[in-house]
Structure 1
Amino acid sequence: MKKKLLIIGFVWPEPKSSAAGSRMLQLVEQFQNQGYEIMFASAAKMSKNTFDLSSLGIEMQTIYLNDSSFDAFITKFKPEVVLFDRFMTEEQYGWRVAKQCPESLRILDTEDFHGLRKARELALKENKDVSVLHLQNDITKREIASMYRCDLSLIISEAEIDILTTQFKIDKSLLYYLPFLLESIPIVSRIKEEINLLPTFKERQHFITIGNFLHAPNYDAVLYLKQTIWPLIRKELPKAELHVYGAYESQKVTQLNNNKEGFLVRGFADNVNNVMKNAKVCLASLRFGAGLKGKLIDAMQNGTPCAMSSIAAEGMFGELEPNGFIEDKPEAFAKKAVELYNDASLWKANQKSCIKILNQRFNKMDFESSFSFKITELISNLITHRQANFVGQLMMHQTLQSTKYMSKWIEEKNN
């Protein structure tokens, strides 16, 4: 009989719209390879971009917020493992899962460290460096409480592991590094062949940036490009264009379009590979954020060198050379972007880094066995594991009581 996994989604996966959607499908594949029967449940509304999980043999189930119907639903399904998509779903459903299925392994997929992203946003607004005070914001407190209540939290970036263990003293047994999980190019000699399949330096033109506009760091980055960086690039390259792609563009995004300035808002890209592989340079000017950046993965998969901020690059390259330049000052950022755009030999040298980074940093085969072993080990030793996490017991006993009874109150009010 197959083991069962319940994924509770904050949203329905949209791999064409966001890196988070692609990440979720990567996790689904991992658990399917471990032999799990999977059900995906969410209280969110579906959109035209929602991925059809049934095509992968996964049942899709609508659930409701603050509704005891979830109790009957999960009791009937009785999963061995429950995966919460971001801490907000754990806050809403974690106490119900713990009560109805106490023996289920509870895993939190953070997607990125939301508290870190918030800290950087607060510091940016104050025009200050990120401090301990910024890090200890309310989002951080909620998210770390959720990490303690779960048996394991999946962390996508080594930089975030470091912050969580050194700054917040979270025990490493509660955290698991699991980055983007991608197909590799197994034979090194094929690197040249793969690059030759892509448009050449001479065949490409213009700059590109991409990102879901519902994600605040992406809108800020585009605005920063428009107001500060692009005018510097355009001064040196008056005929160049910046093509801005992203799902869910609002009026405040579309009004940034300016043909005379070569700042072109293109909106949703149905096929990111088609637009990325024809661009010469990708710009990732993020000023706040966390996690790993899907736009840089898209660029590397299509052999497109990047000019990026240190926040965009965080956690991506390890000890390897990046596929471009990392600069935070707008003048230096623009200068390097122009150099990449003009210098064919420099461009080609940075392009060669792309496949090496993908193979050595994000090869899913390097993570599959150890992740499977970790899940099996935790299920086999769950009681001992939880006994060692006494702070988690405290959080489950105390912190969630308010969430639990607030939820019950809302349910009664709605009735």
Structure 2
Amino acid sequence: MGDCVMTFQIGGTSNLSKASAGNEGAAPSVRVAIPPRSLLVLRGAARYTWQHGIPEPDDFLSDRRLAIIFRRVKGVPDIAMASTPDVDDSERVETSKGIKANDEASVFSALEAAGNPQLVLFDGFNAEERFGHYVREKLPDAMRILDMQDFHALRLGRERLIAEDASAGAVASYLPTAFDEDLQRELAAVHRCDVTLAISEHEKELLVDTYGLPSWKVVAAPFGFDCSSEELPSYEERRGAMFIGNWRHRPNRDCAKWLIEKVWPAVRQRLPKLKLSVYGANQTPEDAALTQENVGAYVRGYCRSVEKAMQQHRLLVAPLRYGAGVKGKVLEAMQHGLVVVTTPVGVEGIAPPDEFPGYVVETGAEDPEAFADAIAEALRDPSEWEVRQRRASALLAESFDATRLEEELRDYLRERWQRLAADRQRDFVGQMLWHSSLRSTQLMAKYIAAKEQAGTLQQTLDK
């Protein structure tokens, strides 16, 4: 098929929105429905001349989407990505949840349509559980790569501690034990794959030093940003503070609620005119009702231009009480010139708290007054604000430059590809987990497929 992107829609119906690149607003966009069991191929002008994407659903309870996406990556062998993009991984979902057609023939057909790629990327451990055995059976020589996104077991464990009213220190220092079922599932997927992409050096170190993964199987692959210098709006050209995060992600909802209900009233006692704007997709009526005009806290809904919104504000305030991974909102804020006020969880994987260029409130996840003090301090001196803005830009360029990170990842994958066969011979735990007696995910998937086929047959007979 050459240079193209292919999407095999397994479950749920999506609407692809396309508009001519460079003419946004000048010509109407085109919406194309992608029903289940359909194959979408984008190549040539459709891929490069026209902007395309899956819009955020207006309805929080809209149909889930399940798809396998194939694309070519420069400098490495052909790569396929198995993805379950609309399944909320913050929930403990079973491997069958949200799947409407995951039988062996469908997955094999999708892999064949992609030209039997040599690299397969699983977008989260749930995707590996669902598709890993199919890929191994159909493409035994392909390199299987797991993108962890973040350390799910760590995030879920911290969430349980929040529910138990644990201290901020206990939440920040928590590590799952060997008895944690979420950890068992996640580490099993990591071991079954040839390569795991960790979102930060911090989570790579956890996998290697705490949980015993071979260091050669894990690589840090953090978010990358365009770090070319550009003139950012000054302190005087900006106003107020903001928070942004998808409401469907529970740490974001918890943070926004804590910020509006507990922190912001304390902020207004110090800065009576300071306003807060909270942005995020997948907002429910209950989320919108959090707006408190009497203290200047407004829930704005979906943000159509993150860059524009961020460059209008002075501060990103993110009193995150739990979570894992690297917070993209914090890095984007640094890119667009905001000074960040957050907690130790908010800077995890970015910088040690005492080296972060913004303000890290050690007790901010449990002490609204301390967090409010930090916000007031961040706005006290415009010259200090500008110093911290410059330091944030320097940190971003040093650690999160997209061009450098892409080159490093490409070199790593090329090296791993060349020694794949030898590495598998020394990967004793990974090969052990593929032993037939331990393939519970494969057996479960085959059971689900057989059950769905039986249900379809019964419906036909009933007619």
Is TM > 0.5 for Structure 1 vs Structure 2?
A: yes
Query: Aligned pair 1:65/2:102, yes or no?
Result: yes
**Larger relative contact order (C-alpha < 8 A, sep ≥ 6)?**
1
Deviation at 1:201, TM superposition (A): 1.2
Report how many residues are paired: 381
* Matched-pair contact (CA < 8 Å) for 2:316–2:338: yes
Aligned to 1:34: 75
Give % identity. Answer: 31
SS in 2 for 1:121: helix
Q: Deviations over 1:164-188 (max 9, x none)?
A: 1222111111100111122222xxx
Cα 1:319–1:279 change in 2 (3 A) is closer
The match for 2:310 among 276, 290, 293 is 276
Change (3 A) 1:44 1:366: closer
- 1:378 Cα shift? 2.0
Q: Structure 1 residues 253 and 328, CA, compared in 2 at 3 Å: closer, same or farther?
A: farther
Cα pair distance change 1:282/1:132, threshold 3 Å: closer
Cα distance in 2 between the residues matched to 1:289 and 1:346 = 29
Specify the SS of the correspondent of 2:298: strand
Contact 1:10–1:88 (CA under 8 A) maintained in structure 2:
no
Find the aligned partners of 2:5 and 2:427 in 1 and give their Cα distance: 23
Letter in 2 for 1:291: G
Equivalent residue in structure 1 for 2:448, among 403, 410, 415: 410
User: Residue 202 of structure 2 contacts residue 349 of structure 2 at CA under 8 Å; is this kept in 1?
Assistant: yes
Q: How far 1:66 moved relative to its partner? A: 4.2
- 2:448 partner letter: I
Deviations 1:354-411 (A, max 9, x none): 2101110111232333322222222222121111111011112257522212222221
- Structure 1 runs not aligned, ≥5 long: 18-26, 47-61
Distance 1:163 1:43, change over 3 A: closer
CA change 1:147–1:32 in 2 (3 A) is same
Q: Is the 8 A contact 2:82 2:131 kept in 1?
A: no
1:7-406 matches, cutoff 5 A: 32-34=73-75, 42=83, 64-76=101-113, 77-128=115-166, 129-130=170-171, 131-132=174-175, 136-185=179-228, 194=230, 197-317=231-351, 321-329=355-363, 330=367, 331-398=369-436, 401-406=439-444
CA distance in structure 2 between the aligned counterparts of 1:210 and 1:412, rounded to whole angstroms: 43
- Partner of 1:239: helix, strand, or coil? coil
Segment drifting more, 328-337 vs 205-214: 328-337
Q: Structure 1 residues 406, 39: CA separation in 2 closer, same or farther (over 3 Å shift)?
A: closer
Residue 20 of structure 1: aligned partner? none
Deviations 1:126-163 (A, max 9, x none): 23325455675221111110000000000011111122
Residue type at the aligned position of 1:393:
Q
The aligned counterpart of 2:45 is none
Does structure 2 conserve the Cα–Cα contact (< 8 Å) formed by 1:321 and 1:353? Answer: no
Amino acid at match of 1:69: S
Alpha-carbon separation, structure 2, partners of 1:320 and 1:28: 42
The structure that has the greater radius of gyration is: 2
Residues 112-137 of structure 1: CA deviation (Å, up to 9, x unaligned): 11111112112222233254556752
Whole-angstrom CA distance in 2 between matches of 1:86 and 1:316: 21
Q: CA distance change for structure 1 residues 40 and 406 in 2, over 3 Å: closer, same or farther? A: closer
Structure 2 equivalent of residue 57 of structure 1: none
- How far, CA to CA, are the matches of 2:86 and 2:150 in structure 1? 22
Moved more, 324-333 or 129-138: 129-138
Q: Which moved more, 1:402-411 or 1:311-320?
A: 311-320
1:103/1:290 CA distance change after superposition, 3 Å:
same
* Distance in 2 between residues matched to 1:235 and 1:124, nearest whole Å: 27
Q: Distance in 2 between matches of 1:309 and 1:339?
A: 15
Q: Distance in 2 between matches of 1:324 and 1:86?
A: 30
- Say which SS state the counterpart of residue 299 (structure 2) adopts: strand
Which piece of structure 1 moves more, 332-341 or 65-74? 65-74
TM-score by length of 2: 0.75
Query: What's the CA shift for 1:109?
Result: 0.5
Native 8 Å contact 1:210 1:244 kept in 2: yes
Q: Which moved more, 1:404-413 or 1:210-219?
A: 404-413
Residue 73 of structure 1 deviates from its aligned partner by 2.6
Aligned amino acid, residue 192 of structure 2: R
Q: Distance in 2 between matches of 1:36 and 1:308?
A: 40
Taking the aligned partners of 2:342 and 2:8, their CA distance within structure 1 comes to 33
Deviation at 1:254, TM superposition (A): 0.8
Q: Whole-Å Cα distance in 1 between the matches of residues 54 and 161 of structure 2?
A: 30
Contact 2:125 2:186 survives alignment (8 Å): yes
**Higher helix residue share:** 1
Aligned equivalents of 2:391 and 2:54: distance in 1? 25
Distance 1:110 1:231, change over 3 A: same
CA contact (8 A) 1:307 1:336 kept: yes
Task: Supply the AA of the counterpart residue of 1:411.
Answer: A
Give the 3 Å change call, closer, same or farther, for CA 3–98 of structure 1 in structure 2.
farther
- Which whole-Å CA distance do the structure 2 matches of 1:43 and 1:323 have between them? 35
| Closer, same or farther: CA 177–263 of 1 in aligned 2, 3 Å | same
Say if 2:76 and 2:414, in contact at 8 Å, map to a contact too.
no
